Structures are given as C-alpha cells and as structure tokens.
Amino acid sequence: MKLLPKLLGVLVAAFIAAPLFIVVPMSFSTAPSLEFPPPGYWLGYYAAYFTDERWTQPTINSLIIAFGTMALTMLLVTPATFAVVRHRFFGRGLANLMLTMPMAMPHIVLAIGYYSYLGDLRLTQTHLGVIIAHTALSVPVAFLILSANLKGFDRNLERAAMSLGATPLRTFWHVTLPVLRPGFAISALFAFIQSFDETVVAIFISGRESETLPRKMFESIRMQADPVISVVSTLLFAAVALVILAPVVWKAVRKRPNRDCARGGTPAAKDAAPQDVNPCAPSRVQLEA
C-alpha cells in the first residue's frame, strides 16, 4: 500500500526534474547550437555568458528592473495591505478587487495596454517603464501573501508593545515588522521573481535600451538556438534552489542545540549563557510541565 504513493512521488519528481537532466549537461556542451546529448564538455559558454555584453547587459537590466519592481511593489503593497486588512472603510471591497484583478488578466492583454499607455508617457524602452508595468503585475501576489500573513498576526502583540510604552511607529518597527518579516520577505521575493521571469510584457515594452534577460533568451532561441541559453537556465535554477534551500539549511543548523537539550544531552556552548548554569537542568518551574 505504501509503495504506490512513494512510487508516484518519485515519478512526479523525475518528471519535474527531467528538463534539468537535459539543460544542465547542455550548458557544458561543446556543440555550436542546442544539441543533446552533448558531443563534448567545456566551460566555453559560461565564459561567453559572463563576458559577452549582449548577455551581461540584459542580466544587469533584469536585476535593476526586478529590484526596482520589488521595492516599488512593497512600498505600495504594505500600506494597502494594512488598510484593507485592518480597517473598514467605504470602497474596501473594491480596493480588494482592484489589488488582485491584474492576476486574472492575460499578460498579452496587459502588454498591449502598457505599450500604448507607457508610449504616451514616453516610458517605453526605459527601465522605469518596465518597472511600472512589472509592479502592476507583482502587486496582486505580493498583496495576497502579505495579507494572509497580516490576518494571522496577533494584534495583542501590538497592544502589548504599546502598553509597554512603544509609540505606534516604534511598535511597527520593533514588533510588527520583525514578526511579519518572513511574510514581507516572501512577498518581496515573489515580486522579484515575477519581474525577473516576466517575458510577454518585457517583449512589448523593454525595447533595446532596457532589454531583459528573458527577452534576450527568447530572441536568441528564435534566431540561432545559442547554447548560452542553457547556461542561463542552469544558473537561474541554481540561484532559485539556493534561495529556497538556504532557509531550510539555516533552520536545521539552528535547531540542533534545542534537540540535544530535549534529549537530555549537554546543550551546545553557544546556547548556554554565562549566568546560565544549565538551561536543561530541571528546576522548580520546569517541573510544572
């Protein structure tokens, strides 16, 4: 009985990972165009990616635009989320709808809209133009993540902080923000990834001047199937894996001392404060439990 779900899990994982087994080897390939299996291996295309301005410039553009989008998104979404989640006001339902609406819109429709609208503002082919368009696309997801976090936030933490003498501003800074930090981080990360990954709108409005990496990849695969594409794909995958795995690894490393404690072993040195004889030692109070 237990074998079937396990087998299914392995199959799904294999299916998802399958492209990697093709893309990663191809990035080290010596073939002049995308070709599998690779006839030989070298690092030439990695060198090409990091030195060729036709690749580095779109990468820099994409990073600038993604960071800009992330910053602008969070700047807009943070107050909007607090307003919509915490306050009752006229038009709240409408605000909620407008904040999530772009998610339901096909990107191609939005792209055409941005093309003419940003064109009028002379913002096509500029970083700012792409940032504005990407922000509109990032807002819904950032808003949804942040509002889910905020809804689960215990208001008594803020009440406690204020009763203890913190002004509303300091309460936000010392309590609300740090407690919601994971929510903010994930929200911002998604805004970043959304922008970095976005292709359709970028093709329409980024132009030569602010060409993004996905747009460059799209164009180069259309023209010549440049193997550098597999290099970029591999690097992107590695970056994402790193971002996702880092917190998991970090947590596993940090948790360990407590587990030792629970097992009755000696606590790790860094966990035992100088004045603390032994935090694992049973005491009057610990016997409560």
Classify each residue of 212-242 as buried b or exposed e, where b means 16 or more C-beta atoms within 10 Å of its C-beta: bbbbbbbebeeeeebbbbbbbbbebeeeeee
Which string of x and - marks every residue 178-217 that binds other proteins (by CB under 8 A)? xx-x------------------------------------
Nearer to other proteins, 244 or 255 (CB): 255
Which ranges of 87-126 would DSSP assign to H, the alpha helix? 92-100, 107-120
Interface with other proteins includes 281 (CB under 8 A)? Answer: yes
- Supply 40's token pair: 């030989």
Please choose, out of 1-9, 18-26, 177-185, 213-221, the segment that lies near other proteins by the rule CB under 8 A: 177-185
CA distance 233 to 230: 5
Interface with other proteins includes 170 (CB under 8 A)? Answer: yes
Which of 160, 241, 244, 245 is close enough to bind other proteins by CB under 8 A? 160
Numbers of helices and strands, H then E, in the chain? 13, 0
Show contacts with other proteins in window 260-279 (CB under 8 A).
Answer: 271, 273, 275-279
Interface with other proteins includes 165 (CB under 8 A)? Answer: yes
Which of 73, 171, 195, 220 is close enough to bind other proteins by CB under 8 A? 171
The dihedral sign for the CA sequence 186, 187, 192, 196: positive
DSSP letter at 35 equals -
Minimum distance from residue 204 beta carbon to other proteins (Å): 43
Minimum distance from residue 163 beta carbon to other proteins (Å): 4
User: Can you name the residues that pair with 29 across neighbouring β-strands?
Assistant: 41
Which string of x and - marks every residue 239-258 that binds other proteins (by CB under 8 A)? -------------------x
Minimum distance from residue 179 beta carbon to other proteins (Å): 6
81 touches 146 (CB < 8 A):
yes
Interface with other proteins includes 116 (CB under 8 A)? Answer: no
- Supply 271's token pair: 């966990």
192 touches 77 (CB < 8 A):
no
